[in-house]
Chains A and B, each alone.
Chain A
């Protein structure tokens, strides 16, 4: 191991790795040292994707209708999601896709009908396919995705009908602006709100913009054109094959509103083709000056810090606006800008009392799983919905309770120094007296026994189990980028040394010490707050 501080230290490289992906190994550290951070990132962007969610469901034969009604069962969607984040060499792709999934939210909670796991996988795979592409393409792929259509009601969205008074559904028109692109208030290039002469924030859109834009998102249906129907003796109707869960929704011109649309100062003429209308609408959102800083700030919050400086946001937003080759929305350039920014890379400033962010519970669990090379001997990866805040993590991937994510980027924990200082701490929205306890209880079980059929492998740690100092140093480095303080490590050492373990101790004793050490590190606030 290298010196403890400095840009080339193990700790700094692990710190970078834990912002860019879920876990870190000695090989990862060597690779970053060899290629440099930018070079390593570019290599990861170009690396082949691992097996997709849909492909894994197929491999598990989960498309075959069974009498227990698996075609309506969402549970394997959770298995798919956990397996996706916990496995595969392409973990930068997956970590960043997970960050996208917390802004462009679709949740298995609300996915019903045929093949919910496939519908969810169709969305997750789409994010993974576009995470290193362009924001404009991503926005269109999100918009036309079948899962999104179900989740935000563009699927089956009908035009206005003066005879019945029916109006186009406004859900997506509202949320695509509020959450996926421009946000509620006009922003400066550094992500801070612009104000009018009276010091008030300026709203980006009004109800009229929403009602207008809603017309653009009419005329979409799930595309069953490639589906075959299985007829099973126990069901009175056919079960479609899963093609409808991938690609785009179908556009039905007969169900598209031809009304004139005026929103955000843009006009789409009456009678415009639906494809053309969509292009104009999404282009308008893409080129809006808010979109860069709005996206940049949230991705920085997900990956690096809850309270980035306006200058940091502005530097990333500039790259969003222009990657240096006159391209707007180049996501690779945005990720590099976020992860290599001086503010992300400067040594942790002990004088900055607000450094970092709370590691999300699902990311802590995933980090544990990858660090200790979990495997499923049955192949099922039967880790279900861990959203329970009284027995599990209070969070589960692709299981947000609403389109507003598990927590809001502007969440201020009441009655805290964070609130007094005018700062935010999004992850605190799911931190409370129940979840803080539940996380520790859950991890104490998982560390020892794994979860469901998913089991850890501590073989790499066994040779150092007798040396509590070395064991803790290893865990501190790879779990926490050595951010657990020497004082806490010393305390942990006394706890481990209270039960002596030697090189010749039985494996069971060594394992118990390893379990204890991992729990102590992963329960520590110094680990939980990623700086």
Chain B
């Protein structure tokens, strides 16, 4: 098999030049500027675009998120998951009549594998509405792949010819593979690489890559740093801003102490984060202040994903103040590792996801940027179709949403897997063998973001192994 792969040398050289450019800035020698301009030109744009990764930590149960709705396939699903007679809920199967309000109806007719029709989890009512209105697409059976794989190839011991992503089925490693193409310890995510390309377009380059959910490798680039923001905005270091127990002198000294350089690298790097926190706090909170959204995000006050997406929407609302042209955001929701209690826990998670995604889309409409902002879901892995008793186990491929005004929505992309535990599109127990690679999903989003095909291959070194890098959901 011919493998068209950008060699590591080129990739490293490219990333190095990105880093060098950001370090030297305007005073860079001409050759450097030219080289970098060529690479970064695609994202040197005058318009605004933002990409938002919604990560579902723990491995989302794909089968109760996208539920077979045609009777033939529903019955297969219910049989495998222990549904009750009369198509009622049972085991870890949802009842057929629970699904009527969330049926997905493609805007243009589509025929899926085995004539599958899907309904979403009952709580995903608004997401189903977005799909049916053409504002959201579904990408079926996507997961990490280094090369296209059939079941036979997966089973072959020839790993040189048919390499596998590292540590399949392991949470921390697969989170890292989704976000950064590498197992735990990876330091550059593909969102961050997009950020590298866009840094020079942005007035406040430090806000190119933003996480509203702790540290995530997804938004770390070679040059672009992750900026972490709380759901309520940047956190001021109060004692360093005015007084320490009434003393201004102590406040000044505190500020010096927490930002002073050190020959101990742990101290020096600790300080760099604190310095960045202080430098950006005033800028960020100043820009956020006038951005009031009418869209309600979190009716119950307990939806952390909605709270994170609210601050992302507010930052997008502040894009002109901050001079932003391209941004990559990361938000997350935890609790998806439901080996047990799937039927108790999953509905609440789906309700939060529904509220958060719908509110976020609505906010982008309110801000007039619906077609400039694309959100997509990701997760450690899909799960098994079979039951552990009252939950499901770690899997591989899963189904995901892409939401936004620029999405060619109301359509399914990728290949629907059979509802089975022994078909050749899975590795057993309904652990899906991905038919679309995360790299293809990424490439499709990157193209929309403005990265030309040549640079996509540099950011995603395995992309050349896939015949159709663009899955088509961005038109």
List chain A positions with a Cβ less than 8 A from chain B. 152-153, 155-158, 164-171, 174, 178, 184, 203, 207, 210, 306, 350, 353-358, 389-390, 401-402, 404, 408, 410-419, 421, 423-425, 428-438, 440-441, 444, 448, 488, 491-492, 494-496, 498-499, 512, 515-516, 519-520, 523-526, 528-529, 531
Contact = CB atoms under 8 A, between A and B. Distances in A.
A378 to B, nearest CB: 26
A437 B339 contact: no
B153 interface: no
Given A390-B230, A519-B254, 4 more contacts: A433-B281, A495-B253, A520-B244, A524-B257
A520 B253 contact: yes
Contacts of B340: 153, 155-156, 169
Contact of B80 (A165, A353, A408, A529): A165
Interface in B327-358: 334, 337, 339-340
Contacts, number: 254
Interface stretch (B44-52, B122-130, B232-240): B232-240
B290 interface: no
A167 B429 contact: yes
B254 A430 contact: no
B226 interface: yes
A498 B82 contact: no
B185 A412 contact: yes
Interface size class of B (residues with CB under 8 A): 35 or more
User: Sorted from nearest, which 8 A-B pairs have the closest CB atoms?
Assistant: A390-B230, A414-B220, A498-B249, A432-B228, A495-B253, A433-B277, A414-B187, A437-B235
A484 to B, nearest CB: 9
A531 to B, nearest CB: 7
Nearest to B266: A529
Contact of A434 (B221, B230, B249, B269): B230
A170 B59 CA distance: 14
A431 B421 contact: no
**A355, A435, A438, A531 interface centre (most CB from chain B within 10 Å):** A435
Given A390-B232, A444-B238, A492-B257, A402 B58 contact: yes
A68 B172 CA distance: 38
A246 B19 CA distance: 55
A417 B237 contact: no
A496 B237 contact: no
B223 to A, nearest CB: 8
**B184, B250, B260, B394 interface centre (most CB from chain A within 10 Å):** B250
Interface string B402-439: 00000000000000000001000000010000000000
B172 A417 contact: no
Contacts of A433: 227-229, 234-235, 273, 276-277, 280-281
Given A170-B393, A354-B265, A355-B264, A414 B270 contact: no
A512 B228 contact: no
A437 B228 contact: no
B466 interface: no
B334 A437 contact: no
Contact of A437 (B215, B236, B271, B390): B236
10 contacts: A153-B339, A354-B264, A389-B214, A389-B230, A390-B231, A412-B185, A413-B187, A419-B187, A492-B257, A499-B250
B167 A158 contact: no
A415 B252 CA distance: 29
A528 B256 CA distance: 15
A356 B215 contact: no
Contacts of B264: 353-356, 529, 531
A444 B244 contact: yes
A401 to B, nearest CB: 6
Interface in B241-282: 244-247, 249-250, 252-254, 256-258, 260, 262-274, 276-278, 280-281
A516 B266 contact: no
Given A174-B394, A184-B170, A516 B273 contact: no
A389 B211 CA distance: 13
Contacts of B393: 167, 169-171
Contacts of A499: 247, 249-250
Contacts of A516: 244-245, 247, 250
